[in-house]
């Protein structure tokens, strides 16, 4: 009976993970309105806007707060909750930017006179890595909220930057002069 419960739990956990992955992929592949695919637009999508996000959940601030007179555990909970909300805002922006880059790449590939299967394959791979990374970040974010572990988004930002750089190479040379 104990083994049966373990198997059922594993199946339920796996089904939940699959459902979250499907949700993440659908969310990442939605339409995102007009795409002004220009060199300037691509350059505006710099990873510099996400640098503050990378240190937003550092333990240094929590440790400093703990060292202050009048410290209470409620202060840490409130700080963590506030930081998580700001962090989620950054995640939404990162996801939106990533989706726009992917949509622009798809648009350029569709309008291209020659097939680029290696780019299509790279795009699918980047979308999978980004969505699975996003699922992991959200799981770690949930644990962080309760004081367990940290959240590292370096790989997500790197995937975004590599995808953005690929898009940059696809923009027609005539647009670079504009």
- Asked if the model's pLDDT at residue 174 lies above 50, the reply is no
For residue 119, give both structure tokens. Answer: 């780019």
User: How far is the C-alpha of 174 from the C-alpha of 178, rounded, in Å?
Assistant: 7
- Greater confidence, 82 or 19? 82
Best CA proximity match to 147, nearest among 49, 44, 53, 75:
75
- Greater confidence, 139 or 114? 139
For 85-100, write each residue's pLDDT tens digit: 999 999 999 999 999 9
- For residues 29 and 102, is the Cβ–Cβ distance under 8 A? yes
- For residues 156 and 128, is the Cβ–Cβ distance under 8 A? no
Residues 162-172, mean pLDDT to the nearest whole number? 82
Q: What is the pLDDT of residue 19?
A: 64
Cβ burial, residue 43 (10 Å; 0-12/13-18/19+): exposed
């Amino acid at each position: 009976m104990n083994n049966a419960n373990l198997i059922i739990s594993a199946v339920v956990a796996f089904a939940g993970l699959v459902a979250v992955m499907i949700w993440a992929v659908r969310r990442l592949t939605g339409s995102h309105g007009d795409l002004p695919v220009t060199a300037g637009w691509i350059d505006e999508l710099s990873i510099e806007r996400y640098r503050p996000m990378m240190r937003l959940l550092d333990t240094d601030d929590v440790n400093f707060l703990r060292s202050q007179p009048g410290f209470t555990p409620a202060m840490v909970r409130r700080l963590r909750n506030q930081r998580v909300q700001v962090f989620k805002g950054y995640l939404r922006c990162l996801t939106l930017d990533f989706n726009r880059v992917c949509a622009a790449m798809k648009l350029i590939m569709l309008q291209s006179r020659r097939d680029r299967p290696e780019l299509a394959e790279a795009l699918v791979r980047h979308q999978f890595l980004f969505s699975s990374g996003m699922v992991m970040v959200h799981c770690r974010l949930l644990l962080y909220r309760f004081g367990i572990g940290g959240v590292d988004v370096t790989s997500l930002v790197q995937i975004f930057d590599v995808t953005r750089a690929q898009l940059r190479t696809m923009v027609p040379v005539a647009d670079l002069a504009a």
